[in-house]
Amino acid sequence: MRTALATLSVLVITLGLTSCCCIEDFDIDMEGFKSEFDRTYSLASGGKVEVQNVDGFVHVESWDRDEVLVKGTLRVRAKNEEEALKRMKEIKVVVTQEDDYLSIQIKRKDKRPKVVWFGCGSWRVDLDLTVPRRCNLSLSTVDGAVRVSEIEGSVSTSTVDGSIRVEGVRGDVRAHSVDGSCTVIAVEGDVDAGTTDGTVEVLEVRGDVSCKSVDGSCTLSDVMGSVKANSVDGRIRIEGVLSGLSASAVSGSIGVAALDGSSVTDSWKITTVDGSVTLKLPETISADIKASTIDGRVSLGVPAEFQLKSKRSVVATLGKGGGTISISTTDGSIRVGYLEAE
């Protein structure tokens, strides 16, 4: 294993394996003093890249080379050049490299309190990486956005304060933010996406999806697989060819459109406390259905064999029957119909 330590301190920095570079030049713009650097590392196709940032974004795209190009911009806010120079020397990047593994960590040399600026400190490092198309990624930052596009491999992303966008991945995806939106588009693999404060949007996925938002909506469209969606305070919208379904909300409506090819082999469950439920099904589907509400109405607008039918509760068989679709809400109405129905 080879380990390189370098201080992010020059306009164009060279990260040697055994040497530390010092500041020779830097620039200034509207956001403060800045220093830019770039470096290329060899990495076998199918290898893994791990990035741990603190304050700044992480953007990753791919190319058809067995190399990783790292471009970074360090920004500091300071009263003068001397202070900026001092702060820049406090930041370093730690690069650990093997044939099939590359780790990039942004660190601060000391533990002194930071002046509040750029979110969590008086400095930030923005990273742009170009990696082999066949690559596995593990990316994290504390205060900044994460962007990934066109990767063949697994992708794991996280941020505390920032948005996440992952697009064009052939592999499993994990995307989690504490305070920011999560968007995942065009994935051939399973998806696990969630946020505490923000929206979750998952589109064009061929695989199972699990998504969760505490304070925000969940939207899933053009999904082929099993879906699990949860929101505490926000609506849920799901559309796709579904092989399994679990959708729950505390305060928000739930709308599901199960397209042709969907099947209820196991139980489907849709539940909300304060909101309505709308379920649209293909005419070819067979299932047993149980729907109930405390304050609202249940409307079953499809041909069915009823075992129980009242204003607030329905038990019925659709087609030949099969797995059970359970729908419940405390305060809201339930509507079940065919896809063609308005």
Quick one: pLDDT at residue 110? 58
Residue 251 CA to residue 233 CA, distance in Å, equals: 5
Contact residues for 297 (Cβ-Cβ < 8 A; gap 6+): 311, 312, 333, 334
Look up residue 37 and give its amino acid. Answer: F
Contact residues for 73 (Cβ-Cβ < 8 A; gap 6+): 34, 35, 36, 125, 126
What pLDDT digit, counting tens, does each position of 187-203 carry? 999 999 999 999 999 99
Residue 126 CA to residue 60 CA, distance in Å, equals: 11
Instruction: Tell me the C-alpha to C-alpha distance, in Å, between residue 150 and each of 26, 169, 195, 213, 228.
Output: 33, 6, 23, 25, 25
Going residue by residue through the chain, which has 342 residues, state the pLDDT in tens, using 9 for 90 and above.
444 443 332 223 332 222 233 333 455 554 568 888 899 999 999 999 999 999 999 999 999 999 999 999 988 877 777 877 787 778 888 899 988 999 999 987 755 544 443 433 478 899 999 999 999 999 999 999 999 999 999 999 999 999 999 999 999 999 999 999 999 999 999 999 999 999 999 999 999 999 999 999 999 999 999 999 999 999 999 999 999 999 999 999 999 999 999 999 889 999 999 999 999 999 999 999 999 999 999 999 999 999 999 999 999 999 999 999 999 999 999 999 999 754
Token pair of 131 as six digits: 């990696």
What pLDDT digit, counting tens, does each position of 151-196 carry? 999 999 999 999 999 999 999 999 999 999 999 999 999 999 999 9
Quick one: pLDDT at residue 81? 78
Contact in structure between 186 and 169 (CB atoms under 8 Å): yes
Contact residues for 82 (Cβ-Cβ < 8 A; gap 6+): none
- The CA dihedral of 288, 294, 295, 296, to the nearest 10 degrees, is 10
- Sign of torsion over alpha carbons 307, 339, 263, 187: negative
Quick one: pLDDT at residue 149? 98
Instruction: Tell me the C-alpha to C-alpha distance, in Å, between residue 268 and each of 30, 297, 328, 331.
Output: 54, 20, 12, 20
Quick one: pLDDT at residue 228? 98
Quick one: pLDDT at residue 135? 97
Which letter does DSSP use for residue 120 in this model?
T
Quick one: pLDDT at residue 33? 80
Please tell me the pTM assigned to this model.
0.87
Residue 235 CA to residue 217 CA, distance in Å, equals: 5
Q: Where are the domains of the chain?
A: 1-150
Quick one: pLDDT at residue 28? 52
